[in-house]
Amino acid sequence: MISASHNKAPDNGIKFFSLGGTKLPDEVEDRIEKELEGGRLLPIGDGVGRIRRFADAEDRYVLHLLATLDVSLAGLHVVVDCANGAAAGISPRAFKDAGAQVTAIGSDPDGLNINEGCGSTDLALLQATVRETGADIGIAHDGDADRCLAVDANGNEIDGDHIMAILATSMARRGLLKDSTLVATVMSNLGLEIALDAAGIELKRTAVGDRYVLEEMQAHGFNLGGEQSGHIIFRDHATTGDGLMTGLHLVAEMARTGKTIAELATVMTALPQVLLNVKNVDHTKLASAKDIHDLVIELETELGDTGRILLRPSGTEPLVRVMVEAATMEHATSVATRIADLVTAQLAL
């Protein structure tokens, strides 16, 4: 896949997938990068490979999406932001074919305007359009359409954690959630875990990245997982995150229950979250920094069940990310600042 994902056109890239349609493991991607950087890939004769074109790919994909639904979306007005990317034309069509009234924005890609002032990383246009048109919900994709975020009728954002809470509780209620388990990453808000626990659903956490979510799902047979960013995987129907499928199933729950998306989103209350990026530090020494870990343990004990702390060293730059959730924003900020200050003092370059 040629993809800028949620980035602008200059940051375009390539995604490789396995024969089974899944993202490749890290080690395989690393090998591909080394081969490309080595300059040894010179196609010769019949070693060039072949191209197979599927003229009806869009039709087949939309039919597959619709086959996963059990209700009509008739009577619901949906604004779909296609991010001037892969979803352009296809996502509005899928929602229309499912019965919804559709207003499409960000659906005129020219090869350069992908994610420009639209899409899941810039919701302002979607929020304004939903309010202006009186729509029931807004759906935002990113450039390659593997993400889905939403906004309610008043333009309030509904992130991936809330979407997962809505979908997981819906599937559990209908007996469709495998082993009553949802898979998410360590970045998902503690509020998601609290909401799921109240519904009798277990949350399994993985490292950050939808590939790790999928690996956990495959290893244990779970069928729903995702990320706060809006990558949601329905393993019964797909091998990767699918923003169109996510959006359709989110609106389907509105049709199924007769509730607004704002009402559905109340299934979860997000705890205040603070994320600090501590720059210019030797992130490679974080694992052995005893004083920092001792402070984290002390503060975690203080937070108890009402919050959590996550320290993540960057894999690409001299930076440590400090994430804290607590009952109040003031408490979260205080805890995060104490940790960040110690990280700076002990690991500064």
CA 142 distance to own-chain centroid? 10
Can 120 be counted among the known catalytic residues? no
Token pair listed for 247: 């959006």
**Which residues lie below 8 Å from residue 65, measured CB to CB, with a gap of 6+?**
94, 98, 244, 245, 248
**Which residues lie below 8 Å from residue 116, measured CB to CB, with a gap of 6+?**
8, 84
Find out whether 69 and 95 touch, Cβ atoms under 8 Å. Answer: no
177 conformational bin, left if phi > 0, alpha if psi -120 to 50, beta if neither:
beta
Find out whether 143 and 251 touch, Cβ atoms under 8 Å. Answer: no
The β-bridge relationship of strands 224-226 and 181-185 is parallel
Which of 5, 120, 170, 229 is catalytic? The answer is 5
Task: For residue 243, give the H/E element and its range.
Answer: helix 243-257
Residues with a known catalytic role? 5
